[in-house]
Amino acid sequence: MSLVHKPLTYAVCKKLANKRIKEASVLLRKREYGGAYYLAGYAIELGLKACYCKNVPRYIFPPDKKTYNNLYTHDFNKILQSSGIKAQFDVEVNKNTDLNTA
């Protein structure tokens, strides 16, 4: 078995995010809240990484070490900042108080 990984692309990240959401839904229906919460969070990370990939040339993930370090983390704020949608996210948080948990 090879340990070589394919580069993460927009399509790969999107597919993985959708798969994690489906898995989280199954766990939620079975009242396995911890696992559902974990997988939903992972799906959000993958969705943000898909946003990043969509905004870079050739949708290749990632091009430099700083961006790599900001994306290969579980730190939501670092991933959000690198995704290219933070400004849009901030606008939505300001419009919808349910999104503002701070």
**DSSP assignment, residue 6?**
P
C-alpha 38/C-alpha 46 separation (Å) is: 13
pTM of the model: 0.78
Q: What is the C-alpha separation between 67 and 84, in angstroms, rounded?
A: 11
Tokens of 92: 């939505």
pLDDT, residue 38, reads 95
pLDDT in tens, 31-90: 999 999 999 999 999 999 899 888 877 656 666 778 778 888 888 888 888 888 889 988
Task: Pick the closest to residue 40 from 54, 13, 53, 22 (CA basis).
Answer: 22
Helix (H, G, I), strand (E, B) or coil at 85: coil
Both tokens assigned to 77: 């704020």
CA–CA dist 67, 53 (Å, integer): 11
Cα gap 46→8, rounded to integer Å:
10
pLDDT above 60: residue 2:
no
